[in-house]
A = this chain, B = another copy of it.
Amino acid sequence: MQKVTIGFLGCGNIGSGVWKLISDFRYEFAHRHQLEITVKKILVRDVTKPRGFSLPEGVLTDRAEDVLEDSEIQIVMEFLGGEYPATSYILQALHNGKTVVTANKVALALHWHELQAEAVRQQVGLYYEASVCGAIPVIDVLQHSLGANRIDKLYGIINGTTNYILSRMAETGLPYEQVLQEAQQLGLAEPDPASDVEGLDAAYKLSIMASLAFHGRVTFPKVYREGITRVTDQDIAFGREMGLVLKLLAIAKRTGNQVEVRVHPTFLPKSHPLARVDGSFNAVYLHGHACQEMMLQGRGAGDMPTASALVSDLIRAATASVHQHPTFRNTEQPDPSLDFSQNWVTRYYLRLSCSDSVGVLARVSDCFAKENISIATMVQKDTGMPGRVTIVLTTHAAPELALQHAIHALDTQICRVESVIRVEE
């Protein structure tokens, strides 16, 4: 029997889930893996706070060094979240020769190069399956199971909060603010929802996934990002009439060395496998040159699904003879061999508010024609407001810059652009 002593950094929902899963899995650790896991120290802010489960005397501590400096602790599991102090703690643990298992997407997205360099230097492991999409093993699949692929496309629904909000808006027809409030009351959105609804959370995760998929560092600032705060129930309804479903999509595409990495509200045809991923589910859909299409779907958040990834990583960490690391050049800067483009080619949905006068449609069409953008559908809607009409149009595939030019060329006196939503297939 191999004895493994571990420490936790944090003991909120996820830490509690990990504690429960480890406690509950003693028999399996012993009989499947000949492992005996002892949690020696758990760093918390307040050692007196009731935890809802019993911990042995002396396990809780509010001193980080009790975990980071204890020479008996071989593996540190981190679920504090956020950039600091988590990043410093992880670095220190690695520096002290401890393998780290983390769920921290922010630390990884922003400091991966430092963390990996330190882990390599100390010949210890760094495991982070839980940092992206909870229980869904997208890290391992990208890194190993699809090792013989050039991945040219990855689409993800990787933020449960925004997917819940958009699904609920589609289901109920209610406006964004009201559904957000409902999600906050249900505990599905944070009191300060910015990280989710502004697309930050998805962008952190996408920078990690895209780095593995493209085998080169895709840094967080390289991810183009728009959140869902300006999404209207009206656009969702108009989209539905055209057979489109709105998702906050994380997109990574590669053509040769040109890559595009972006998070924004996106219409998908309702026949797309991702269009049916509703509520708090996560899913990643990808295409590789050998594997072709693949989709992984599951619980992307929640204490037990995240604990599933963390404890599975713990088993790997404890049973590995040599710790493996991604083989791409993991640097602070974006990989120089990747050419990051913001002039992607996609289809667009636009909602325009126009004055109801002769020749407006022709002038709108003209602006797009001048940029060589072909209009796929155009519908004029009655607004109920005298003198104004709503025009909903979709384009064929067009470059982003051309689209932006066309929009800026529209005469704001007669035509206001209310929404621009990209349409993927």
B305 & A292 in contact (Cβ 8 Å cutoff): yes
What is the distance, in angstroms, from A103's C-beta to the closest C-beta of chain B? 13
A147 & B292 in contact (Cβ 8 Å cutoff): no
Q: For A321, list chain B residues within 8 Å (CB).
A: 321-322
Given the interface contacts A32-B327, A291-B299, A297-B294, does A148 sit within 8 Å of B307 by beta carbon? yes
What is the distance, in angstroms, from A330's C-beta to the closest C-beta of chain B? 12
Closest to A135 in B: B291
Verify if A328 is at the interface (C-beta below 8 Å from B). Answer: yes
Partner of A308, one of B28, B146, B273, B327: B146
Given the interface contacts A148-B315, A298-B295, A299-B294, does A288 sit within 8 Å of B308 by beta carbon? yes
Q: Mark A25-58, 1 if CB is under 8 A from B, else 0.
A: 1001000110000000000000000000000000
Q: Mark A327-361, 1 if CB is under 8 A from B, else 0.
A: 11000000000000000000000000000000000
B145 & A137 in contact (Cβ 8 Å cutoff): yes
Verify if A385 is at the interface (C-beta below 8 Å from B). Answer: no
Verify if A149 is at the interface (C-beta below 8 Å from B). Answer: yes
Q: Mark A104-144, 1 if CB is under 8 A from B, else 0.
A: 00000000000000000000000001000001110011001
Q: For A307, list chain B residues within 8 Å (CB).
A: 148, 290
CA A328 to CA B292, docked complex, whole Å: 32
CA A312 to CA B140, docked complex, whole Å: 12
Closest to A302 in B: B292
Closest to A24 in B: B289
Q: Mark A254-298, 1 if CB is under 8 A from B, else 0.
A: 000000000000000000010010000000000011111111111
Q: For A147, list chain B residues within 8 Å (CB).
A: 311-312, 315-316
Closest to A271 in B: B276
Q: For A25, list chain B residues within 8 Å (CB).
A: 148
B316 & A290 in contact (Cβ 8 Å cutoff): no
Given the interface contacts A291-B298, A294-B297, A305-B291, does A311 sit within 8 Å of B148 by beta carbon? yes
What is the distance, in angstroms, from A231's C-beta to the closest C-beta of chain B? 25
Residues of A within 8 A of B (CB): 17, 21, 25, 28, 32-33, 129, 135-137, 140-141, 144-150, 215, 273, 276, 288-299, 302, 304-305, 307-312, 314-316, 319, 321-322, 324, 327-328
Given contacts A147-B312, A293-B298, 9 further A-B contacts (CB under 8 A): A135-B290, A146-B312, A147-B315, A148-B310, A276-B276, A291-B298, A291-B309, A294-B296, A295-B297
In the assembled complex, 7 residue pairs joining A and B whose CB atoms fall closer than 8 Å, in A order, are: A28-B215, A137-B141, A140-B141, A147-B312, A288-B308, A289-B304, A292-B302
By Cβ-Cβ distance, the 4 closest A-B pairs, closest first, are A137-B145, A148-B311, A135-B291, A290-B308
